[in-house]
Structure 1
Amino acid sequence: MKILFISHDASLTGGSVLLLNLIKLLNEPGIYESTVLFRKGGPMEPDFAKVARTFLWDQPVVPETTKRKKIIRRLRNRHIGNDEHNSEILEEVRKADVIINNTITNGELLETILKDFNGKVFSYIHELEMASVRFATPRGIKLTLDLSDKLIVPSEAVKHHLHSKYAIDVKKIVPLSYYIHNKGTGKNEVPHKKQNELIVGGCGTLDWRKGIDIFIGVARRLLSADLLQHFVFRWKGANINSSEYAQCLYDIEKAGLSNSITLMSADTEMDSFYNNIDIFFLSSREDPYPLVVLEAASFGKPTVCFSNAGGAPEFVQEDAGSVVPYLDISAVVAILLEYKSNPEMVLEKGQKAKCRVQEMHQTQSAILQQFDQIVNN
């Protein structure tokens, strides 16, 4: 079966990583042949090119100048002009048996490419309300929902959002578990850590949805209570060239937290980050079903997250971390103090998280069966 995956970009974010994981998983049985179309490019393009044919939609043609000869040559290796390039993509569309659109934000692109396509279209929706508003137009969202035969979701939170916000019939919504690789040792042991210290990790871009201000606020509350000396806060995923990064550093310095909070840049080296934290704190205001929680669990790390902020509580429950009321900084501080005073609880909940992620998100046969049922029914 030939599958055309459509993604909004190839950025170093959870959606791209999870799509790449899914394609790798589908490649193993040899039943599926994958092609990927990106609306925009990104740093993960080479990773996708190793496992599938890849295309960029409407790639701009660079003017032929002496300074840009290398760029032009590379572009011409991929296409000659937008018209010919997009014609090649449309031919790939016609060849596909199934299209899987990996976002709610591609509605206008779907409208364009589906004119000559007669197969089934599935949209894997990873966005909740605020991400949809930020990255898509109302018309684009409606097109995605209307043009999809089925809507695939990673969590009950996304299913509820689609049903309540857009009145989507629940019969049109089907679950598909994320697949992640097993990298962690499962031992919640942090090397080179000071005695009686708890290292708290956070991860993501520095935008409002991810709650970096909340992450900083928790550290500030501990400082006010003269308890910060027992904690270290590490955030992974910052764009160090962004204005948001400069703003966060400003807040951290003005709040007297420079020795307690470290902002690390985004890259693919996540193993050492997870190995060097005790607890993962998901400070997000909105996250449909965050990859970072699953990755932390793979390394035996429990998660603290907010209720009513997406799908993380569905994984964490009561035994793989802690769910606290939405934006309740006092509750976060209280649970972190409890974890610091009870290292055994950290280990027990981390082990439960490890077992759960293995069962739900690392069992290849179960996820393949889910996928087969979706595309073949």
Structure 2
Amino acid sequence: MNQSKILFITPTGGRTGSEMLLWYLLSRLSGKIKTAIYTRMNGELFANHSTADQTFINHAKKGFIYGIYEGLYHKLFKITPEEKKVERIQRKIKADKWYLNTLTMPEFAKLAHQLKVPYFLHVHELVTIYDEIKYEPFKFQLDNAEKIICCSSIVETRIKQMGYQNTILLHSFIDTEKISVKQSPNLIREQLNVPVDAFIWVMSGSMNLRKGYDLLPDLFQFLPKNTYILWLGSVKETGVLHYIRQRTKLEKLNFIEIGEKSDEYYDYLNIADGFVLMAREDPFPLVMMEAAFLQKPIVGYNSGGISEFIQEGMGGVVDSFNPKDLSELMLKIQNQSIKIDKEKLKNRALEFDIKNQIGRWDNIF
């Protein structure tokens, strides 16, 4: 049997949405496809639970001294130490194709081109991320990709608006077999000192301004006192975090930082009465589908993929970024003036289960 070999390159190897998707994908690809992964950081997901046939991890600790070393190395050899490492990996495994997981690694598009290895570019980002990548590398990776995989319709629209027609729309997916709830929601609520009559909204993700977590304090102005909002995810220690913590303390807001809770993630997600997405921009968040599978009503700003996913009876989307508008929708769900169809939520999530998506991925590889 002829096997195609793919080298998957990913930014952190941790539990980001794009990397969880890749982790699911590698566990289910056809036996006709040999997989190798290179992760640019020692993230615990692929370091400890890799699903690829071969795993290569960059253990270099980047910092000031490494930056000097990298600069000198590049000046001497016209290539970075990391690029040289990936070149050695390619010579060793002789991958037929590379897969670049996210837009954030344009240097590997250039390296693939130099090595004459065709590559797929998987785009999980919208325009705010474009602003973080330099002009020429950004253009190069799109110009030279064999295929541009887009995780949602809005992502594909933005790529096509730049003139690229070699796109494939493959919505992000989840693996519902991985969603396991073991702890009692009431017990966890008690441990968090949340009153029995409280309505809990859960948010999830990594803290950054794109996710809209800075809008939380203003949202509480329009919600009843028995409303709690819990943040499930990593904490980024910046001035914005201090701003939120100070307002939470001084205004006595019912906001709780839960943390990542990697091993208990679904137990904590399951304590929600509803799931709220406050992102200003979000292509097609995995946690939205996970919440739907757990039959949680979903609300959010019209930030991207949420409007492709939400249907009548599942919650709702507001066409602004005004906390007052979002709070009005949240109150309608809390007051049960919007009918929620829990079976529809679960069935919609199942449409984006990996079992229903994997055939298309096998075909493109």
Instruction: Report the TM-score, using the length of structure 1 for normalisation.
Output: 0.80
Question: Are residues 1:246 and 2:242 paired?
Answer: yes
1:21 Cα deviation from its structure 2 partner: 0.9
Q: Pairwise mapping of residues 114-125 of structure 1 onto structure 2 (< 5 A)?
A: 114-118=113-117, 120-125=118-123
Is residue 14–residue 290 contact of structure 1 (8 Å, CA) maintained in 2? yes
1:195 Cα deviation from its structure 2 partner: 5.2
Specify whether residues 328 and 131 from structure 1 end up closer, same or farther in structure 2 by C-alpha distance, changes over 3 A only. same
Specify whether residues 36 and 48 from structure 1 end up closer, same or farther in structure 2 by C-alpha distance, changes over 3 A only. farther
Question: Are residues 1:315 and 2:309 paired?
Answer: yes
Is residue 123–residue 149 contact of structure 2 (8 Å, CA) maintained in 1? yes
* 1:369 corresponds to which of 328, 342, 359: 359
- Aligned twin of 1:276: 271
- How far, CA to CA, are the matches of 2:180 and 2:26 in structure 1? 24
Is residue 107–residue 139 contact of structure 1 (8 Å, CA) maintained in 2? no
- Aligned twin of 1:137: 134
Instruction: State the SS of the aligned residue for 2:357.
Output: helix
Q: Which runs of 5+ in 2 are unaligned?
A: 64-80, 190-194
Residue-by-residue CA offset, 1:144-202 (whole Å, 9 max, x unaligned) = 101211111111110111122x2222xx111113231215579xx95356554311111
Specify whether residues 82 and 262 from structure 1 end up closer, same or farther in structure 2 by C-alpha distance, changes over 3 A only. closer
Is residue 185–residue 300 contact of structure 1 (8 Å, CA) maintained in 2? no
Q: Pairwise mapping of residues 215-234 of structure 1 onto structure 2 (< 5 A)?
A: 215-222=216-223, 227-228=224-225, 230-234=226-230
Question: Are residues 1:341 and 2:338 paired?
Answer: no
Residue-by-residue CA offset, 1:304-327 (whole Å, 9 max, x unaligned) = 0112x1111101133322011221
- How far, CA to CA, are the matches of 1:150 and 1:60 in structure 2? 32
Is residue 22–residue 179 contact of structure 1 (8 Å, CA) maintained in 2? no
The percentage of counterpart residues that share the same residue type is 24
Residue-by-residue CA offset, 1:260-304 (whole Å, 9 max, x unaligned) = 110121241311121100111000001110011011112111210
Q: Pairwise mapping of residues 7-22 of structure 1 onto structure 2 (< 5 A)?
A: 7-22=10-25
- Aligned twin of 1:126: 124
1:363 Cα deviation from its structure 2 partner: 4.9
- Aligned twin of 2:77: none
- How far, CA to CA, are the matches of 1:277 and 1:60 in structure 2? 38
Q: Which runs of 5+ in 1 are unaligned?
A: 63-80
Q: Pairwise mapping of residues 175-254 of structure 1 onto structure 2 (< 5 A)?
A: 175-182=169-176, 183-184=178-179, 190-191=185-186, 194=195, 196-222=197-223, 227-228=224-225, 230-239=226-235, 241-254=237-250
- Aligned twin of 2:292: 297
Task: Give the letter aligned to residue 344 of structure 2.
Answer: K
Instruction: State the SS of the aligned residue for 2:21.
Output: helix
Is residue 121–residue 149 contact of structure 2 (8 Å, CA) maintained in 1? yes
Task: Give the letter aligned to residue 354 of structure 1.
Answer: K
- Aligned twin of 1:151: 148
1:82 Cα deviation from its structure 2 partner: 6.5
- How far, CA to CA, are the matches of 2:346 and 2:246 in structure 1? 36
Is residue 100–residue 121 contact of structure 1 (8 Å, CA) maintained in 2? yes
1:116 Cα deviation from its structure 2 partner: 2.3
Task: Give the letter aligned to residue 206 of structure 2.
Answer: T
- How far, CA to CA, are the matches of 2:206 and 2:107 in structure 1? 26
Is residue 99–residue 119 contact of structure 2 (8 Å, CA) maintained in 1? yes
Question: Are residues 1:88 and 2:97 paired?
Answer: no
Is residue 202–residue 236 contact of structure 1 (8 Å, CA) maintained in 2? yes
1:256 Cα deviation from its structure 2 partner: 2.7
Specify whether residues 137 and 92 from structure 1 end up closer, same or farther in structure 2 by C-alpha distance, changes over 3 A only. farther
Is residue 238–residue 245 contact of structure 1 (8 Å, CA) maintained in 2? no
Is residue 202–residue 234 contact of structure 1 (8 Å, CA) maintained in 2? yes
Instruction: Report the TM-score, using the length of structure 2 for normalisation.
Output: 0.83
- Aligned twin of 1:98: 97
- Aligned twin of 2:53: 52
- Aligned twin of 1:160: 157
